[in-house]
């Protein structure tokens, strides 16, 4: 049990990485599977992943958006996803809890589902993630805005890929360059004069985060 129960209506920075810093995403199929879980398992009810598999078998060309529209899925979401980034060996979310224990349930569902998938695919056993996910309560609007940029652009902070072109983060969605509609962007964008204004804000924070990581690396050398 966590020392402090996460509260409904509050925002949290959630993150975790692979055990021993190992890669948890080996190829695009792995990224897609985890991203799909974020969509399908964010619901108070269970069974949507199985429903999706059956739906996809009957309609191979269908996508998740069509499935959710036709099935009425995710009518009782556990959390609001504000921002996310999936990197090869770790991930970041900003979540707002909607249901009691919603963050815990959401993270348990996607963690268990993905670990089972990964272990079966790569013929391995044991823990995939480095213990229980970490959570930090976001207590102010200024911190929420800063962390939204940090999470949205985390692939760029770690010099993996430019966030605007990185498929597995929410920044392209914020900038209108993706058809995905996974995030509650209005929570963040409403504090800016549109997407371009937010992009400039994010650029400044990316530079700051990169410099901070470089400074920390230098101190350890």
Number of domains the chain contains: 1
Model confidence pLDDT, tens digit, residues 122-164: 999 999 999 899 999 999 999 999 999 999 999 999 999 999 9
- What span, in angstroms and rounded, lies between the C-alpha atoms of 220 and 209? 17
Please give the mean pLDDT across all residues of the chain: 89
Band (3; pLDDT cuts 50, 70, 90): low
Q: Which domain holds residue 204?
A: 11-42+77-220
Task: Say if 60 falls within a structural domain.
Answer: no
Task: Say if 115 falls within a structural domain.
Answer: yes
Q: Is 184 helix (H, G, I), strand (E, B) or coil?
A: coil
Task: Say if 142 falls within a structural domain.
Answer: yes
- What CATH number is associated with residue 82? 3.30.70.1290
pLDDT at 185: 96
Task: Say if 53 falls within a structural domain.
Answer: no
Q: Are 124 and 170 in contact (CB under 8 A)?
A: no
Task: Say if 121 falls within a structural domain.
Answer: yes
Task: Say if 67 falls within a structural domain.
Answer: no
Per-residue pLDDT at 17 exceeds 80: yes
Alpha helices in the chain (DSSP H): 28-40, 48-58, 64-71, 102-121, 141-152, 154-157, 171-174, 186-189, 195-220
pLDDT at 1: 46
pLDDT at 77: 93
Burial code of 151-162, b = ≥16 C-beta within 10 A, e = fewer? bbbbbbbbeeee
Model confidence pLDDT, tens digit, residues 25-73: 999 999 999 999 998 899 888 877 777 777 777 788 777 777 777 776 5
pLDDT at 191: 97
Task: Say if 72 falls within a structural domain.
Answer: no
Q: What global pTM score does this model have?
A: 0.89
Q: Is 180 helix (H, G, I), strand (E, B) or coil?
A: coil
The arrangement of strands across the sheet holding 79-87 comes to 79-87, 90-97, 11-17, 134-138
Tokens representing residue 28 in the block: 């695009």
């Amino acid at each position: 049990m966590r020392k402090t129960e996460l509260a409904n209506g509050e925002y949290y920075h959630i993150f975790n990485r692979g055990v021993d810093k190992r890669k948890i995403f080996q190829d695009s199929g792995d990224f897609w599977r985890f991203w799909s879980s974020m969509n399908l398992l964010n619901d108070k009810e269970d069974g949507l992943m199985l429903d999706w598999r059956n739906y996809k078998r009957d309609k191979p060309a269908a996508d998740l958006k069509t499935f959710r529209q036709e099935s009425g899925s995710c009518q009782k979401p556990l959390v609001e996803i504000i921002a996310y980034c999936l990197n090869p060996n770790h991930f970041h979310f900003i979540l707002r809890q909607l249901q009691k224990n919603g963050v815990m349930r959401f993270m348990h569902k996607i963690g268990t589902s993905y670990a089972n998938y990964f272990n079966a695919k790569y013929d391995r056993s044991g823990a995939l993630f480095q213990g229980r996910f970490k959570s930090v309560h976001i207590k102010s609007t200024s911190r929420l805005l800063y962390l939204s940029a940090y999470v949205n652009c985390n692939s760029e902070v770690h010099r993996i890929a430019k966030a605007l072109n990185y498929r597995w983060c929410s920044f392209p969605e914020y900038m209108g360059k993706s058809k995905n509609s996974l995030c509650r962007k209005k929570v963040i964008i409403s504090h800016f004069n549109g997407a371009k204004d937010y992009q400039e804000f994010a650029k400044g924070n990316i530079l700051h985060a990169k410099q901070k990581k470089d400074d920390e690396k230098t101190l350890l050398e």
